[in-house]
């Protein structure tokens, strides 16, 4: 009896150690923005270049992009201070429409059958809860590698992308400039009308 | 409106000797993002106020260019890609890039970026010899010569503290600003492709027709890529004019920091 019990103790403590270590490493990867970005990019590329072309791509990548991008924060930034005057229902509708536009735009960039090569640089700390990660994208169609910088924020759900800068051009700032006049002239209804028209037009051109 | 900020930035670049910003410039956070700490205000991203007093005229030229793209340039670029395979196209791109070496070299020197001018010289020598007259960019495989930011006279003027001035949309050529327009003229003079036209060199083998054909090939070869970039930008935009203007000015501002 005694001997059995004695044997059991180290075994279970070993198990605890392994479980503990597993939990620790899990926590570390969820806490590491670079690891999160790397795995999201790899996953997105395997969905995009799975050999199905652009067919249905927006629908296929949406689940992944939903847990990679902070779509609500991206939308808020793109709308500017006018956002605060929008009704909750309008805000919800605009987030839905704008994220759909982003996902479709992303999907339309997938061309050809050759996966682009993407290398990650060292993360830069913008604030304790925000990081900037520079990447270089080499595609078969471009002679020079393209600089793509991701800005991430740590939310309760983990690290999420809140802006992307392509060759120094901020996605958020670019849309902020485009929406400014639309919001000043017609507020939330004008934004919704513009986005609906844009999405309808891109559906037509795809079919 | 951006004059004080841009000239201050250019002045700071000059004072810092210009050569210090060699690598990892893309990793440097933009000042706007660092200014706020943990409580970053997502609802108050500052709007970049652009200097665009000629907007009405610019928009007219922009829609004219859009028509030219749709009805003339896109079909032309499409036909060209069908006839000329990708490896040949990238060989031609590399050849003309290599020939533009004096432009990048002179501007690196004018900006006091001596390391960069040495890198450009190294690239030119390697690509002209091992790269068979510039057709293959062998320098990409040399670590110290890969990813050297290309300098031009517009950027030189920026480094010297000259503000970009009003935004301009040029017929067919597309987005520019006053500074880049002057830069374009400066680079035209430095580029060896134009030395014959400008009367700098006289050679029995180079006729005006041959020179014109060379420039034509260069333009045509660059067309598919520029059309692709334009189409991508337009496809996601809710106001293509503003989207292109913001992209052009931000892109040039980022290049100036490199």
The CATH number that applies at residue A154 is: 3.10.450.710
Could you tell me if A26 and A66 lie in one domain?
no
- Rounded distance, CA A117 to CA B152, Å? 28
Q: Taking CB atoms and an 8 Å cutoff, what residues of chain B touch A108?
A: 232, 235-236
Q: How many residues does chain A have?
A: 207
pLDDT of residue B43: 78
Interior CA angle at A124 toward B38 and A27, to 5°?
75
pTM: 0.82
| Inter-chain touch A162–B250, beta carbons under 8 Å | no
List the end-to-end C-alpha distance of chain A, in Å, as a whole number: 75
Nearest chain B CA: its distance from A109 CA (Å): 7
Residue B10's pLDDT band, with cuts at 50, 70 and 90, is very low
- For residue B85, the chain A residue with the least C-alpha distance is A141
Count of domains for chain A: 2
What is the mean pLDDT of the segment spanning B50-54?
95
Could you tell me if A136 and A87 lie in one domain?
yes
Could you tell me if A27 and A54 lie in one domain?
no
pLDDT of residue A143: 74
Which of A77, A173, A180 lies nearest to residue B42, judging by beta carbons?
Answer: A77
Interface test mutation site (partner A, options B234, B238, B249, max chain A beta carbons within 10 A)? B238
For residue B129, count CB atoms less than 10 angstroms from its CB and return exposed for 0-12, middle for 13-18, buried for 19 or more: exposed
- Rounded distance, CA B211 to CA B59, Å? 34
Residue B69's pLDDT band, with cuts at 50, 70 and 90, is very high
- Rounded distance, CA B103 to CA A48, Å? 39
Q: Are B168 and B176 in contact, with CB atoms under 8 Å apart?
A: yes
Could you tell me if A27 and A108 lie in one domain?
no
Residue A204's pLDDT band, with cuts at 50, 70 and 90, is low
Interface test mutation site (partner B, options A128, A144, A177, A198, max chain B beta carbons within 10 A)? A177
What is the token pair recorded at A70? 């902070």
- Rounded distance, CA A16 to CA A9, Å? 11
Could you tell me if A176 and A134 lie in one domain?
yes
- For residue B148, the chain A residue with the least C-alpha distance is A144
- Rounded distance, CA B105 to CA B117, Å? 5
Distances (CA, A) of A61 to B39, B96, B127, B234: 31, 39, 41, 22
What is the token pair recorded at B30? 């933009």
Q: Are B136 and B94 in contact, with CB atoms under 8 Å apart?
A: yes
Could you tell me if A2 and A58 lie in one domain?
no
Top mean-pLDDT range of A141-145, B143-147, B252-256: B252-256
Could you tell me if A2 and A65 lie in one domain?
no
Nearest chain A CA: its distance from B42 CA (Å): 5
Which of B232, B242, B254 lies nearest to residue A178, judging by beta carbons?
Answer: B242
Q: How many CB pairs below 8 A link A and B?
A: 123
pLDDT of residue A3: 45
- For residue A191, the chain B residue with the least C-alpha distance is B238
Give A135's contacts (C-beta < 8 A, 6+ positions apart): A37, A41, A118, A119, A120, A121, A147, A148, A149, A150
Distances (CA, A) of B192 to A194, B98, B153, B195, B214: 48, 11, 15, 5, 12
Could you tell me if A18 and A40 lie in one domain?
no
Residue B32's pLDDT band, with cuts at 50, 70 and 90, is very low
> Max alpha carbon distance in chain B (Å)?
69
Beta-carbon neighbour count of residue B23 at 10 Å? 9
Give the torsion through C-alpha atoms of B201, B206, B208, B212, to 10 deg. -110
Closest CA to B186 of B77, B249, B102: B102
| Inter-chain touch B38–A153, beta carbons under 8 Å | no
What is the token pair recorded at B139? 């320098």
pLDDT digits (tens, 9 = 90+) for B83-103: 999 999 999 999 999 999 999
Q: Taking CB atoms and an 8 Å cutoff, what residues of chain A touch B48?
A: 173, 176-177
Could you tell me if A94 and A192 lie in one domain?
yes
- For residue B233, the chain A residue with the least C-alpha distance is A105
pLDDT, greater one: A51 or B78 = B78
User: Whole domain around residue A4: which residue ranges?
Assistant: 1-31
- For residue A103, the chain B residue with the least C-alpha distance is B236
Q: Which ipTM was obtained for this model?
A: 0.81
Give A203's contacts (C-beta < 8 A, 6+ positions apart): none
Question: What values do phi and psi take at B201, rounded to 5?
Answer: -125, 145
For B217, the enclosing helix (H) or strand (E) is helix B208-236
Could you tell me if A54 and A3 lie in one domain?
no
Q: Taking CB atoms and an 8 Å cutoff, what residues of chain A touch B246?
A: 169, 173-174, 177-178
pLDDT of residue B44: 80
In the block, which residue shows the tokens 């009003």?
B166
Query: How many Å is the Cα radius of gyration of chain A?
Result: 22
Nearest chain B CA: its distance from A116 CA (Å): 16
> Max alpha carbon distance in chain A (Å)?
84
Share of chain B above pLDDT 70, in %: 83
What is the mean pLDDT of the segment spanning B208-219?
87
> How large is the angle between the packed helices A57-66 and A33-48, nearest 10 degrees?
170
Could you tell me if A8 and A84 lie in one domain?
no
What is the mean pLDDT of the segment spanning B24-35?
36
Q: DSSP secondary structure string, B5-67?
A: HHHHHHHHHHHTTTTT--S-GGGSPPHHHHHS-SS--TT-PPP-----TTHHHHHHHHHHHHH
Could you tell me if A18 and A102 lie in one domain?
no
pLDDT of residue B205: 65
For residue B20, count CB atoms less than 10 angstroms from its CB and return exposed for 0-12, middle for 13-18, buried for 19 or more: exposed
Beta bridge partner(s), residue A125: A131
């Amino acid at each position: 009896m005694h001997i059995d019990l004695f044997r059991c103790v180290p075994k279970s403590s070993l198990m605890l150690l392994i479980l503990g270590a597993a939990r620790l490493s899990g926590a570390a990867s969820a806490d590491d923005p670079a690891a999160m970005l790397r795995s999201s990019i790899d996953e997105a590329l395997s969905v995009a270049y799975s050999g199905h072309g652009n067919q249905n791509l927006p629908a296929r990548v949406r689940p992944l992009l939903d847990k990679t991008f902070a779509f609500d924060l991206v939308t808020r930034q793109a709308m500017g201070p006018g956002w605060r005057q929008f009704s909750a229902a309008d805000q919800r509708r605009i987030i839905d429409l704008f994220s759909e536009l982003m996902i479709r735009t992303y999907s339309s960039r997938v061309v050809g059958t050759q996966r682009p090569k993407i290398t990650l640089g060292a993360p830069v700390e913008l604030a304790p809860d925000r990081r900037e990660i520079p990447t270089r994208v080499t595609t078969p169609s471009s002679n020079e590698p393209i600089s793509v910088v991701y800005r991430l924020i740590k939310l309760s759900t983990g690290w999420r992308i809140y802006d992307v800068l392509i060759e120094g051009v901020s996605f958020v700032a670019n849309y902020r400039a485009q929406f400014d006049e639309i919001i000043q002239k017609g507020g939330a209804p004008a934004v919704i009308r513009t986005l609906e028209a844009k999405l309808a037009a891109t559906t037509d051109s795809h079919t | 409106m951006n004059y004080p900020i841009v000239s201050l930035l250019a002045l700071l670049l000059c004072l810092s000797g210009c050569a210090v910003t060699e690598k990892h410039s893309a990793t440097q956070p933009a000042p706007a993002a660092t200014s706020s700490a943990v409580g970053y205000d997502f609802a108050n991203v500052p709007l970049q106020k652009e200097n665009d007093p000629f907007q009405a005229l610019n928009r007219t030229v922009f829609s004219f260019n859009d028509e030219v793209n749709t009805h003339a340039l896109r079909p032309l670029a499409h036909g060209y890609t069908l006839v000329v395979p990708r490896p040949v196209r990238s060989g031609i791109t590399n050849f003309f890039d290599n020939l533009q070496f004096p432009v990048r070299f002179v501007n690196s020197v004018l900006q006091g970026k001596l390391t960069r001018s040495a890198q450009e010289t190294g690239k030119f020598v390697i690509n002209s010899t091992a790269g068979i007259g510039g057709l293959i960019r062998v320098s990409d495989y040399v670590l110290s010569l890969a990813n050297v930011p290309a300098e031009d006279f517009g950027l030189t003027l920026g480094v010297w503290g000259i503000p970009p001035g009003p935004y301009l949309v040029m017929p067919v050529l597309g987005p520019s600003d006053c500074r880049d327009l002057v830069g374009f003229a400066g680079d035209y003079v430095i580029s060896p492709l134009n030395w014959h036209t400008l009367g700098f060199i006289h050679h029995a083998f180079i006729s005006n027709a041959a020179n014109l054909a060379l420039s034509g090939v260069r333009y045509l070869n660059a067309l598919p890529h520029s059309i692709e970039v334009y189409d991508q930008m337009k496809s996601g935009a809710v106001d293509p004019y503003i989207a292109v203007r913001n992209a052009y000015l931000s892109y040039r501002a980022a290049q100036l920091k490199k």
